A and B are shown apart, each in its own frame.
Chain A
Amino acid sequence: MSDVLLSAQGLRLAFGGVKAADGIDLDVRRGEFLAIIGPNGAGKTTFINMTTGYLRPQAGIITYEGQAITGMAPRRIVARGIARSFQLPQLFTEHTVLENVALAIAAREGPWSPLAPLLRPRWREEAVDLLERFGLTSIAGARADALNEGARKLADIAMAVALKPRLLLMDEPTSGVAANEKMEVVETLARVLRAAQVTAVFVEHDMDVVERFADRVAVWSQGRIAALGPPAEVLSDPQVQRDVIGIERHAAA
């Protein structure tokens, strides 16, 4: 079994004159937590969108477990074991949190009989258990449109985890989470993902989170990877500090 789970080679995608991906080469290693940092508009979300099939690169190839997935439909990519969460949580707002997660379980388990209920005992149990691991038990019965931003974010990630992916791509999992809860949320998340042996790629703006949880960090800049390596090494690089972290700290302030 190769050490590389996902590999992107020479990805290019431009929106008009803006190069959102200008030759991205990146290997994601099995089991690692890889953080993606960089200023807004650098192409971080575009990378996630290309990997999950939402956008098709104009050039380049993406392989997962050694097989090309470039330009496949999102649901075929999901079927192979890649799930994602969203910068703006994408919940089914007319459903409860429990039903949202149960729908994800149902999607993973399909096809199903049209007459057995969504909240059948086995799926309900699994959903309850997952929400417990995410610390969301208290809001399981709440409608998804009645949650605060932090809870919506976690519920969104819980839905992705319910798909039992081997690779999870998270777009800013901590944005919108209150500053004093941030570490706790990431702590919870890291525990759940490690226990489920999920490889994770996450876009992050909080350098403390990156330093503490990422095994490696990739610095995005104008559609390219400007630096890649362990956080301690990359984050202390003077150029990265000036070009990225400076901006990040400034933006955070």
Chain B
Amino acid sequence: MRRTETLLAIGGAALLVLLAILAPWLRFVLTIALAKGVAVLGILLLLRAGQVSFGHALYLSFGAYTVAFLAPAMPEALILMPVAMLLSGLLGLVIGLFVSRYRDIFFSMLNLAISMVFYSLLEKLYHYTKGTDGIRVGVPRFLGMALERDQFEWAMFGTALVLALAIGCFVRLYLASPMGQALSAIKTRETRLEFMGLPARAVLLSAYVLSALMGGLAGSIIAMTTRHVTPLLGYWTVSGELVFIAILGGAGAALGPFLGAVTFELVRVYAAASFADAWQAILGLVLLGVILFFSRGLWGMVESLWRRRA
């Protein structure tokens, strides 16, 4: 399955590039999908430990606003991204020190609560954040070059794709490592970990910080792609969307989140265009179908189809 996964990842990446060439307007949608996929990879790490965060839009919006605030002073995409990522990771460390003490519903709700506090700040501190109007992000330079809008969109799409592949690889290795395996051990028998001398909190905290790093990075890509950030990016429905995508794509492998994110964004775009009032219902039906018939998500579906063929 490992080689299959690599092949599928490369095939999938090629398909996305092809789509972006054939339908240029999809480039924007796909860049957002890839960014969300990266954020969902972070959700997947926490899901391995049996923990669901309903507040990871916090890191998405934090990364996005970091870009919005710093872009005028530092208009270079390849600096803005790592800075947003690192600051978000730092925030994740501070919050993680607190939330990693809790499990299950308490973990979910605390994340939700903290993210909603941040959302309110974004909305209320009008003087700094321009409230619900949001902040416009100018086109930053890319590798020192001032690109045309079209070229910049290509650059962002390419960057998102490369980062998605790299982080996907990292997550795959991480999940197979003792650290990743200990994450699933938290889900099944946390006390035993302590009696083996492994601090479960530290294991969960590491995953939490990683998820914050990924969320911040995703947020920075979204900010530079949409070029307008509003508090909505930090609203709880966006957190819910990330969990939705994780379940839709399947938490079994690093490809799941991207499969989920691309499907989600495409269904949303097409459903919204065809049935403007009913697109959420259509997404809901798609998820219902996946949960009922493929509890391991779209990735589980691909896996079983592949097995049947082999």
Contacts and interface: CB of A to CB of B under 8 A. Distances in A.
Contacts of A110: 178, 197-198
B194 interface: yes
Interface in A73-118: 73-75, 78-79, 83-84, 86, 90-95, 99, 103-104, 106-108, 110, 112-118
Nearest to A79: B197
Contacts, number: 90
B6 interface: no
Given A73-B194, A75-B194, A75-B197, A90 B174 contact: no
Main secondary structure of the interface of A (DSSP, over half): loop
A163 interface: yes
A75 B199 CA distance: 7
B304 interface: no
Main secondary structure of the interface of B (DSSP, over half): helix
A104 B182 CA distance: 10
A117 B196 CA distance: 19
A78 B187 CA distance: 21
Interface in B162-207: 170, 173-174, 176-182, 184-185, 187-189, 191-199, 206
A157 interface: no
B198 to A, nearest CB: 4
A159 interface: yes
A95 B181 contact: yes
A74 B195 contact: yes
Contacts of B193: 107
A91 to B, nearest CB: 7
Contacts of B196: 75, 78, 83, 103-104, 107-108, 159, 163
Nearest to B176: A117
A92 B199 CA distance: 15
24 contacts: A52-B195, A74-B194, A75-B198, A78-B197, A83-B196, A86-B192, A94-B184, A95-B181, A95-B184, A95-B188, A103-B178, A103-B181, A103-B198, A113-B177, A114-B177, A114-B179, A114-B180, A115-B170, A115-B173, A115-B174, A115-B177, A118-B176, A118-B178, A163-B196
